[in-house]
Structure 1
Amino acid sequence: MKLPTKELIQELSSVNIGSCISVYMPTHRTHPGNIQDPIRYQNILKQLESSLLEKYAESEIKAYLAPFENLKDDRDFWNHNLDGLAVFSSGEIFETVSLPLPVAELMVVAESFHTKPMRQYLQTEDRFQILGLTLTEMRFFEGNRFSVSEIELGEDIPRTIEEALGSELTEKHTTVASYGGVGGESGNMHHGHGAKKDETDKDSERFFRIVAETAYEKFSKPSGLPLILAALPEHRNLFRKVNKNPFLLTEGIDLNPDALSADRLRTMAWEVMEPEYDQRLKNWSEKVAQAIADQKGSDLIGDIVAAATSGRVETLLLEKDRIIPGKIVDAANGLIETGPLSDPETDDLLDDIGELVEKFGGKVLVLPPEKMSLESGAAAIFRY
């Protein structure tokens, strides 16, 4: 099963042959919640069959449903989900995607795949990364307010001080001991004297410098996400001394990351991230209002469609979970046609607009309903 990525979304967005079936549903990570997931899935398949009957003969529907049916009794599949599931099927394409955030139950049959819920994960402003750091090891995590998952490091990324410094590592001349701290947290204490301790301190600084460069080049720079440091206070101070990563937030988690459960790490990271998140949303709201006032933006769907088609949309804001059933009938003039989402020729207009904007290199952001004061569910800032 895949995770949502920009590359996967682009691949799915390029498919527009025949009927494209998109299914979304909430799932559970653990027992006993995941027992209900396959039952919910079977109910969705019944709804899917009803939708397909509006356009196709019963004999054709069996071919469409066959790959979906194969998942029903796959026990291993249902035991290894995250918070949401997306399934895409069209012709020879059949993809299952595990989503690290809850999604609303949704089934869409249209001329293209419905990718907005997946894009929402990549486009929401509540995402962040975490660098877990000790004197001898680093770990990376990515998540949002709902969940945090550890990132598997590639072979080209040094995880430990031994891997980072290699032959340049000072000969081991200290004893490392772990001592319990407040609340069961633990830290490493080095026993050394004089010059030997100085050499160990130099090793730590060199290791942290490599960690800082790796965090920026491999994670922060490609993703553009805020970075939260989780480390003991004395380690945090040394890291900030060598850090040049502009994505590192001022506040951090002053505890040994190895002593924190995934849920506690998520909770503490969100406490750091939430003020940053609120400020980001406020900034975007102000930018959109100013753009509309200067006639360099709009919250009218027709205007946005016309601008998106010609590549004029610089930034598009969409309301999370908002769906406007319909299709674009004359993109150049911004003409749209609404209709029921159960119609196989009808998709979500907001989803289609988002794909258009990304096609021309525009930025798409998904905001929660309480942060979108516009009735249309969308607003755009134009390039010109």
Structure 2
Amino acid sequence: MMYEIVNDFPNEIIYENEVPCISIYIPTHRYAPDNKQDTILYKNSLKEIEESLKQKYQKIDIKTIMAPLYKLQEDNIFWNNTYDGLAILANSKKCVIYRLQRSVQTLVVVANSFHIKPLIRAFQSADHYQLLGLDRSKFTLYEGNRYGFSEIKLGPDVPRTIEEVLGEEYSQPYLNHGSYGGNAATGGSAMFHGHGSKKEEIEIDIDKFFRYVDKFVLENYSKVYNLPLILVSLGDYHSIFKKISRNPYLVEKGVKESYDSIETDQLKEKVWKEIEPYYIQKTNNLIEEFNRQKSATQGSDILVEVVKAAFENRVKTILVEDEKIISGKINRLTGDLVFGDLNNPENGDVIDDLAKLVLKLGGEVVVLPKARMPSQSGIAAIYRS
């Protein structure tokens, strides 16, 4: 059995019935020399797993279960290309690895189900957005959250440049393109200068190209994922695109800078300033909805009630507390709630089991810090109408 680096969540491994379920979370570092400590922390995590497995498994079985985890330890290329956090989910037949763009607390759990709250928080849609980097000749699409963003890989047949979009209709430019009245790298106005009709042809080309980009992103991404769209472009292009755009998900302000020249960390901070109000508003709306529905008996923060409702596929959305752990398990066949010691591999975190059940049945799970939770129990469920 080998390990696989994945980007999808939820991954099918969390729904499989293979045991034991091993969950590893460690903070990692992008650069040397800080990243040297990552393998040490990982090695210590493996020792914890071995000790836990000894409670139930024979030495030869432990060696088989741990094989991909041992192999990862020796993968120097992997450890030299980490991000800010690492999540590993492994059972007796599969091992998946997430390189996260956010730090996580060190945690090792061996149980009959996976610990997934840190992954839910990293991938939850509440703070997700899409980012459109645009200039006069090409565009790039990204997806991200508060911790960073990565490029969306478009298919090889998708036109991405003005030449590819317009084909024979493209007017070959001979005008110089520069920035006058400001610095292009810091958001100054991008101006065209040239001679008469040729200038007009180029402006028409840009208009056609921007209309194509707007329609492509709207139809293939915004309508599908319903995420806020941040435009990153020079001031003049920003104005042109905003005038022609029909995308209701396009955020009003955006970032008026060249997406090719701005540093990634700087862009991440600027984008999050634009998205944070949307995130806060969305979570506030969920909290308000929970309070309303709870009053109308269409929501609950009582664990036993919520587990029963989730098993019956009646939970639309559940808010869960980030670091809250309730030791035990949910019987997959009956939905019964059983409490127990977390050190026993037969048990895990009931909140994790509950989150997996809601996700599997098409519900939404949102992880919030304790200070923002509308309940003291660690959960707050909104039922389906």
TM-score range, shorter chain: over 0.9
**In the alignment, what sits opposite 1:348?**
349
Match of 1:113 in 2: 114
Query: Is it true that 1:4 corresponds to 2:25 in the alignment?
Result: no
Aligned position for 2:315: 313
- State the match for 2:378 in structure 1: 377
Pair 169,321 (structure 1): closer, same or farther in 2 beyond 3 Å = farther
Residues 41 and 72, structure 1, Cα contact 8 Å, conserved in 2 = yes
Report Cα offsets for 1:345-381 as digits up to 9, x if no partner: 1121111111111222212222222211311111111
Deviation by residue 1:226-256 (Cα, 9 ceiling, x = unmatched) = 1111112221111112212221111211112
Once the 2 structures are TM-superposed, how far is the Cα of residue 90 of structure 1 from its aligned partner? 2.0
How many correspondences in the alignment? 381
Structure 1: state its 5+ residue gaps: none
Q: Which residue does 2:52 correspond to in 1? A: 51
| CA distance in 2 between partners of 1:243 and 1:368 (Å) | 36
Deviation at 1:335, TM superposition (A): 4.0
Partner of 1:67: 68
1:184 CA displacement: 4.8
In 1, distance between residues paired with 2:338 and 2:121? 24
CA contact (8 A) 2:184 2:190 kept: no
The answer to whether the aligner puts 1:217 opposite 2:219 as a matched pair is yes
Letter of the 1:224 partner, please give it.
N
Look up the match of 1:166: 167
Query: Given residue 4 of structure 1, which amino acid in structure 2 is its aligned partner?
Result: N
Partner of residue 26, structure 2: 25
Once the 2 structures are TM-superposed, how far is the Cα of residue 49 of structure 1 from its aligned partner? 0.9
Partner of 1:123: 124
Q: 1:253–1:78: structure 2 CA closer, same or farther, 3 Å change rule?
A: same
Please tell me the root mean square deviation across aligned C-alpha atoms, in Å: 2.2
**Residue equivalent to 1:143:** 144
Deviation (angstroms), 1:124: 4.9
Change (3 A) 1:154 1:2: farther
Distance 1:338 1:359, change over 3 A: same
- The answer for the alignment partner of 1:242 in structure 2 is 244
| 1:48/1:107 contact within 8 Å kept | yes
TM-score of the pair, normalised by structure 1? 0.92
1:187 CA drift (Å)? 6.4
Q: Distance in 2 between matches of 1:150 and 1:199?
A: 31
Q: How does 1:291-370 map to 2 (within 5 A)?
A: 291-329=293-331, 335-370=336-371
Q: Which runs of 5+ in 2 are unaligned?
A: none
Question: Which of 259, 267, 270 in structure 2 is aligned with 1:268?
Answer: 270
Q: Greater shift after overlay, 74-83 or 260-269? A: 74-83
CA distance in 2, matches of 1:84, 1:24: 7
| Matching residue within 269, 282, 299 for 1:280 | 282
Q: Name the CA shift for 1:330/1:174 in 2 (closer, same or farther; >3 Å).
A: closer
Counterpart for residue 90 of structure 1: 91
Q: What residue number does 2:176 align with?
A: 175
Q: Which amino acid in 2 is paired with 1:309?
A: F
Secondary structure at the aligned position of 2:222 is classed as helix
Please give the secondary structure, in 2, of the residue aligned with 1:247: coil
> TM-score if structure 2 supplies the norm length?
0.92
In 2, are the aligned partners of 1:108 and 1:114 still within 8 Å (CA)? yes
Taking the aligned partners of 2:282 and 2:174, their CA distance within structure 1 comes to 48
CA distance in 2, matches of 1:204, 1:230: 16
